[in-house]
Chain A
Amino acid sequence: MKPVLNNNLPKSVAIKSGRISERYRLFLYASPLLLLVLLFSYLPLYGWVYAFFNVRPGFSLFSSEFVGLKWFRSLVSNPTQTAEVVRVMKNTMAMSTLGIVTSIFPVIFAILLTEIRSKRFKKWVQILTTLPNFISWVLVFSIAFMLLSVDSGIINKIMISLGIQDAGINYLASDSYIWLKMTLWSLWKGLGWGAILYIAAISSIDQELYDAAKVDGAGRFRLMWHITLPGVMPTYFVLLLLSIANFINNGLEQYYVFQNPINKNSIEVLDLYVYNIGLLGSNFSFATTVSMLKSLISIMLLFFANRLSKLVRGETII
């Protein structure tokens, strides 16, 4: 592509020669779509300048005071703000870590499912356990709301009839075990779906490996351990690296729907915190600062994961 990029031909030539003008025509066809990418993915980078101003709601950037690195300094020098950010980082990292720890579950799920002999059972399990992946977090919350409702929810009914608790407990308006609860909800939603990739990986393992091992007298568990597991590990490793790259990117939707004043302290992850202080608290500039730092750290983590992948697998992930 080099010759195209340093193409210094005068415009008249470009019009006369059909071949060159086709280059630009192709680009022209693409340009409205590229413009959309520019507007919605690149232009937001310009929003970063808000981190260096003191923008108040209702005021434009131009009527705002330039404050330099004030917001960055306040991250470390203002004790209340530092404490807040530390709390939020703790939530973010705790839930990401739990996410990484549980990321082995889809692998186990896939290996166990391929051990099921009934094709029909296997198919139905796959279809039905994938369903929760396709509903929105709002609906997941609605389901949680319904199942955990204090006076009509099935969970409270069961707990009371088993004698585990005397009265209905409002599980959603509670601050305890939030990290674990959030991890369990994302497992409920994502486990079946997450396993599909591994099931595909397992089905592409050479059948001869199994046959050869069987001839050598390997039992079912040895086959799983020595052939199936190593067979899916490369796939798992790539996804693991990607989850390292996304370590502080645990999203907003799930925590947004589940948050309430009671669990706010332990559910606020970075994105949610930024939303809460930026859009609800109207501290645009500080929210932008945190948002910007988060993006920069994410990029660094991605490069780190990519480098790690290159070192270990000899192949990059991006």
Chain B
Amino acid sequence: MELQRTNGDRLFSVFNYTFFALFTFLCVFPFYYLFIQTISGNDLSARGLVTWYPKDIHLTNYLEVLKIKGLSHAALVSVGRTVIGTILTVLGSAFLGFLFTKRRMWGRKFWYRFVVVTMYFNAGIIPWYIIMMNLHMTNNYLAYILPAIVSPFYVILIKTFVESLPDALQESAELDGAGIMTLFVRIVFPLILPIAATTAIFSAVAQWNSFIDTVFLMTEAKYHTLQYVLLKYLNESNSLASIIRSQGTSNVDLTNLQTPNSIRTTVSMFVVIPILLVYPFFQRFFVKGIMIGAVKG
């Protein structure tokens, strides 16, 4: 049944479409603006002459910036923590969630609460930092991986999901003499793949975007992530100036010499590209993903 269209209705529609068009523009334009800065002539973008469309298009920034000492290493650190961290988080949280569905587990309820409660309280950042120091987690790559392995959100999500599966599947395998490991790897994990994929994507984004742990724990440059290096470039114009000085005169194309501006924007692009690449694939997980924030322990 179609509603009758009144004038107020039409006005409302116009307002509505305009509002969403504007807000969407606000959300997208910064990314576009960032991109056109990196491919426009560096002297033009440094003077603020690139606003709506790229000018003097060139792609040398993407090659030149990668040559900056330590930057490709930082990218490697970021990729490493994202890949290793995500795999271990998914496996660890899924396995624990699966174990919590086993009623025979000793102290199951207690241990389940033990994990879930950590969602609602934390000791505070300084006590956490003190303990991380005592656990030798400063300047240690494991600090990126280990604390993330058990995520209470994911554990709850997977436990609930496994509980919704028919018992018969596991029972028949158990009758055939399958142990816990076999049961998890062969029977349960393939079945929870959709939810595991959701947790994988959210954990990957979280790992890639994380920087405050680097701020707290990593003083040595070899543990610095791309996010952290970008933050440093934004805050310390000195470190950028020295990079630019060191690029020497070998660069023939004088108009596209690196500027603080070009380095910042290009590194930003390196930080955002992976997100943009996986984005089309993971927006179908959105509703499941927000469930992660809404599930009840």
Verify if A313 is at the interface (C-beta below 8 Å from B).
Answer: no
Say whether A135 contacts B209, CB under 8 Å.
yes
Cross-chain contact of B24 among A43, A128, A292 (Cβ < 8 A) = A128
Verify if B130 is at the interface (C-beta below 8 Å from A).
Answer: yes
Count chain A residues whose beta carbon lies closer than 8 angstroms to a beta carbon of B.
Answer: 98
Given known pairs A112-B20, A219-B3, the reply for A152 and B230 (CB within 8 Å) is no
Given known pairs A33-B149, A116-B16, the reply for A47 and B105 (CB within 8 Å) is no
Verify if A84 is at the interface (C-beta below 8 Å from B).
Answer: no
1/0 per residue, CB under 8 A from B, across A27-64: the answer is: 10110011011011111111110100000000000000
1/0 per residue, CB under 8 A from B, across A216-251: the answer is: 000111000000000000000010000001000000
Given known pairs A24-B106, A44-B131, A157-B48, the reply for A136 and B125 (CB within 8 Å) is no
Question: B residues touching A (Cβ–Cβ < 8 Å)?
Answer: 1, 3-4, 6, 8-9, 12-13, 16-17, 19-20, 23-24, 26-28, 30-31, 33-34, 37, 45-48, 51, 92, 95-96, 99-100, 102, 104-111, 114-115, 118, 120-131, 135, 146-147, 149-150, 180-181, 205, 208-212, 215-216, 227-228, 230-231, 234, 261, 264-265, 268, 271-272, 275, 279, 283, 286-287, 290, 293-294, 296-297
12 contacts between A and B (CB under 8 A): A1-B107, A33-B96, A36-B150, A115-B13, A138-B234, A142-B230, A142-B271, A274-B124, A274-B126, A287-B126, A291-B124, A299-B121
* CA–CA, A145 and B33, complex, Å: 12
* CA–CA, A257 and B234, complex, Å: 9
Residues of A within 8 A of B296 (CB): 317-318
Say whether B107 contacts A5, CB under 8 Å.
yes
Verify if A211 is at the interface (C-beta below 8 Å from B).
Answer: yes
Cross-chain contact of A44 among B4, B6, B13, B123 (Cβ < 8 A) = B123
Q: Interface residues of A: mostly helix, strand, loop or mixed?
A: helix
Question: A residues touching B (Cβ–Cβ < 8 Å)?
Answer: 1, 4-5, 7, 19, 22-27, 29-30, 33-34, 36-37, 39-48, 50, 112-113, 115-117, 121, 124-125, 127-132, 134-139, 141-143, 145-147, 149, 151-154, 156-157, 188, 191-193, 196-197, 200, 211, 214-215, 219-221, 238, 245, 252-253, 256-257, 271, 274-275, 278-279, 284, 287-288, 290-292, 294-295, 298-299, 302, 317-318
Say whether A29 contacts B125, CB under 8 Å.
no
Given known pairs A1-B108, A19-B104, A26-B104, the reply for A131 and B27 (CB within 8 Å) is yes
* CA–CA, A196 and B296, complex, Å: 18
* CA–CA, A227 and B181, complex, Å: 49
Closest Cβ neighbor of A153 among chain B residues: B48
Tally inter-chain residue pairs, CB-CB below 8 A.
272
Say whether A135 contacts B126, CB under 8 Å.
no
Closest Cβ neighbor of A1 among chain B residues: B109
* CA–CA, A234 and B268, complex, Å: 39
Closest 7 CB pairs of A and B: A47-B127, A291-B124, A152-B48, A136-B209, A44-B123, A26-B105, A41-B118
* CA–CA, A143 and B33, complex, Å: 9
Candidate in A136, A143, A287 with the most chain B CB atoms within 10 angstroms: A136
